[in-house]
Amino acid sequence: MKKIMETLNRTRLSQLISRRSDEDLLAHQVDALFGTLSDIYGADKLVLRASKLEILPLMRSNQLEERVWALQRLVLHGPAPQKPPTAKEIPQILNEIEDEIAGIIARRSVEDKLEKLVADKMQERHEEYMREIKMQVLKETGGPENAQTLKRLAQLEKMNNVTLARSAMEMLRPQQLNEVVGQERAVQAILSKLASPYPQHILCYGPPGVGKTTAARLAFQAAKGRSVTPFPEEAPFIEVDGTTLRWDPREVTNPLLGSVHDPIYQGARRDLADTGIPEPKLGLVSDAHSGVLFIDEIGEMDPMLLNKLLKVLEDKRVSFDSAYYDPLDPNVPQWIKKIFDEGAPADFILVGATTRGPGELNPALRSRCAEIFFEPLTPSDIKDIIENAGQRLEVRLETGVAELIAEYTIEGRKAVNLLADAYGLALFRREEAEAGGENGDEEKTPLIGVTCDDVLEVLRTARLSPYVTRKGEHKAEAGRIFGLGVAGFVGSVLEIEAVAFPANGEGKGHIRFNDTAGSMAKDSVFNAASVFRRLAGKELADFDLHVNVVGGGNIDGPSAGLAIFLSVYSAIQELPLWQDVAVTGEISLRGGVKAVGGIFEKIYGARQAGIRRVLIPKENEKDVPSGLTGIEVIAVETVDEALALIQAGPAVVSTGQAS
């Protein structure tokens, strides 16, 4: 029994020692886990976390189970256990805690690596940012200039200092109103409409090169000096060509009226774009505020743009709008807010010039403007322009030079260009002669001489032909007469000829007429046939009649009726007609002469062609310009009156054919 008790005691002691060693091992393991957590989180943070979980007493407990329970609540996720683990559960729980801590350590390692990479990148970026900031500071303190920009500036300055001589057109352009030749009535009309307390918008009609732009500019300068003018001394004269005015219907750009540059699509100024504020760009109508906006070739403008311009003329302001504009945005500058809310001022006088006829312009534009017609230049006007230009160029003009140039153009600008070209040719020939020693010991003259040969050489080089190819002569012919037509703002003579032969049989005659002359001219032939039968008592059907408009021009209207009748009557009756007399007018079936249009232009064309007398309808007598010289204008009511004034007497020979 004693041995049994000793054996049992030894067994119990052995188990006790074994259990004691297992508990110590677990206790060391728990201490190691707490130490690891302290290394991971730090002692202070670990204590803080334990205090939040209210497990500090468990951590400081002498009981292994309570300490393991504290580890469970610190490390493991999920619902917190409500009681300490048993001795049997502790090894399993410690294994789970070790796995979880191993995961935490692994995550910490990865996070440390990432943090190191992030820190390295931040250091690199920090250095880049510092360099950019330094460059920005240098730019702000040193200005935008650098070696490249200063080089460009020097190139521009050098180009500005090297200029060619003034062009001939620039030097010969009129500088005062009294230097504008041949437009006394138009200049007076423009000045009276601008130099008034209530200036008007103006439309200037006329052929090219007669001084519309120059007259408008000089009249405005003269108007500013009048006491009654509303224009201030600094009032601008803004000039623009209507053919070059381009705009975008989406209002992306509009140099005439202005546009809005949004911060995204068009790009506003940087300080505005950064805050998303649109930038309004004022147009030419605002630049012309309190002055004159001159639009050359206004008839070529886009119709929609012209309608927008008319709206500005009514409102005297330009409205701006943008989807990016927020009136409540405190960052919007006051000037932008004022433009969007009230519009930009655009109170100006519009002066438009065009080579089109009034019927081709917008009626709404015409109703808002006073209309002034510039006259085509006469040969005497061209001569005056050439002589004045010769004095300014300091050239000696040979006799006949001015007259020769006047035969080839009716434009003042073209005439001056021809003289400048002839001057250049004469100067070239003089230099060539001096280089070749052809002048010998002859004394040099300071003035360059321009001869008719120089002008003819320029005309041949430019392939120009005389402006007037049909000239009136003081002689009589049967079956030939001059009618009058209008093309644009210039009149011209129409040579109409007729020849008649007896038909092969009574009533078997034929009438031939130009197809290109137009249907209205053919109707005039039929009217002439009826009037001829009424006056002469003969049937045109008894004659083979051929009527021809020399040159094949298209006659748009009935104004050639009188000329066609007189040519037919003269051809059949063999009645000679004076060849320095021109006629215009529509004929009625009763032999009356009816009113037609374009009397001023037709008289001008007749005078250009050397016509001595013009017969016009009585109803057009009021259209004859006052102060007319160099031509006689007679108004007639019937074809009988016209015959009496144009016939040279009874027939002496039969023409037989048109001359």
Determine the Cα–Cα distance for residues 484 and 226; give it in Å rounded to an integer: 43
What's the gap between Cα 299 and its chain centre?
13
Q: 602 catalytic, yes or no?
A: yes
Residue 594's SS3 state is strand
Q: In whole angstroms, how far apart are CA 597 and each of 81, 104, 183, 206, 481?
A: 115, 106, 22, 16, 20
Q: In whole angstroms, how far apart are CA 111 and each of 42, 44, 115?
A: 16, 21, 6
Whether the CB-CB separation of 203 and 192 falls below 8 Å is answered with no
* Candidates 212, 224, 383, 602; catalytic one: 602
List beta partners, residue 239: 294
Determine the Cα–Cα distance for residues 377 and 586; give it in Å rounded to an integer: 28
For 455-463, which contacts have Cβ atoms below 8 Å and span 24 or more sequence positions? 455/401, 455/404, 455/405, 455/418, 455/419, 455/422, 456/404, 457/422, 457/425, 458/418, 458/421, 458/422, 458/425, 459/408, 459/418, 461/421, 462/418, 462/421
Q: In whole angstroms, how far apart are CA 70 and each of 38, 89, 95, 103?
A: 14, 14, 15, 19
User: SS in 3 state form for 90-137?
Assistant: HHHHHHHHHHHHHHHHHHHHHHHHHHHHHHHHHHHHHHHHHHHHHHHH
For 413-417, which contacts have Cβ atoms below 8 Å and span 24 or more sequence positions? 413/169, 413/208, 413/209, 414/209, 415/382, 415/385, 415/386, 415/389, 416/168, 416/169, 416/172, 416/385, 416/386, 416/389, 417/168, 417/169
What's the gap between Cα 81 and its chain centre?
85
- Measured in residues, the chain has a length of 659
Tokens of 36: 């690891």
Helix (H) or strand (E) holding 279: strand 279-282
Q: Is 608 left (phi over 0), alpha (psi -120 to 50) or beta?
A: alpha
**Burial degree of 76 (CB within 10 A; 0-12, 13-18, 19+):** middle
Whether the CB-CB separation of 623 and 491 falls below 8 Å is answered with no
Whether the CB-CB separation of 211 and 412 falls below 8 Å is answered with yes
Q: In whole angstroms, how far apart are CA 177 and each of 193, 202, 373?
A: 15, 18, 17
Q: 151 catalytic, yes or no?
A: no
**Burial degree of 175 (CB within 10 A; 0-12, 13-18, 19+):** exposed
* Candidates 286, 559, 567, 570; catalytic one: 559
Percent helix, strand, coil in the chain, to 5, is 50, 15, 35
Catalytic sites, residue numbers: 559, 602
